[in-house]
């Protein structure tokens, strides 16, 4: 299997659309995972709970905005892990669950609306043992 350079992996993450389909195999983020014939003992899996937040004036709790924030959070986390373990060959990455909450309010003095959201994303990345 051809080993990709770190720059190529980071480019892939920048340009790929990450589907956050919780509980499913993320085929578009794997290096042909099913054809590698790897067992669980051949894989090193790193999982972390990653916290994130965003704010705005309106629309913070829209599904599109939440998906965008989840994807940005996952991309940033994966980039960091690829850099930390740049000598390892990655197999796949993704997220297994996400949760968050939003609140909207209006300043009683100025009448300016605002909203804020925060959440947690359970991210994972799998590497092939050398």
Tens-digit pLDDT string for the chain (130 aa): 444 444 544 444 443 433 333 333 334 444 445 556 667 777 889 999 999 898 888 777 788 888 888 889 999 999 999 999 988 888 888 888 888 888 888 888 998 888 888 889 999 998 887 6
Is the CB of residue 77 less than 8 Å from the CB of residue 70? no
Contacts of 9 (CB under 8 A, 6+ apart): 82, 90
pLDDT tens-place string over residues 32-63: 455 566 677 778 899 999 998 988 887 777 88
- Report which of 28, 103, 118, 22 is spatially closest to residue 69, judged by C-alpha positions: 118
Quote the CA–CA distance of 73 and 79 in Å, as a whole number.
10
Q: What's the pTM? A: 0.68
pLDDT at 20: 39
> Reduced to 3 states, what is the DSSP secondary structure of residue 80?
helix
Q: 52: left (phi > 0), else alpha (psi -120 to 50), else beta?
A: beta
């Amino acid at each position: 299997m051809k080993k990709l350079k770190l720059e190529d992996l980071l480019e892939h993450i920048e340009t790929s659309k990450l589907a956050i389909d919780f509980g499913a195999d993320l085929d578009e983020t794997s290096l042909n995972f099913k054809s590698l014939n790897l067992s669980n003992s051949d894989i090193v899996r790193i999982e972390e709970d990653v916290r994130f937040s965003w704010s705005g004036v309106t629309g913070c709790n829209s599904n599109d905005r939440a998906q965008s924030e989840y994807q940005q959070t996952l991309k940033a986390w994966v980039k960091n892990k690829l850099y930390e373990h740049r000598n390892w060959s990655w197999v796949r990455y993704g997220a297994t669950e996400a949760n968050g909450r939003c609140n909207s309010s209006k300043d009683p003095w100025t009448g300016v609306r605002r909203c804020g959201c925060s959440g947690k994303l359970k991210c994972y990345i799998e590497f092939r043992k050398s």
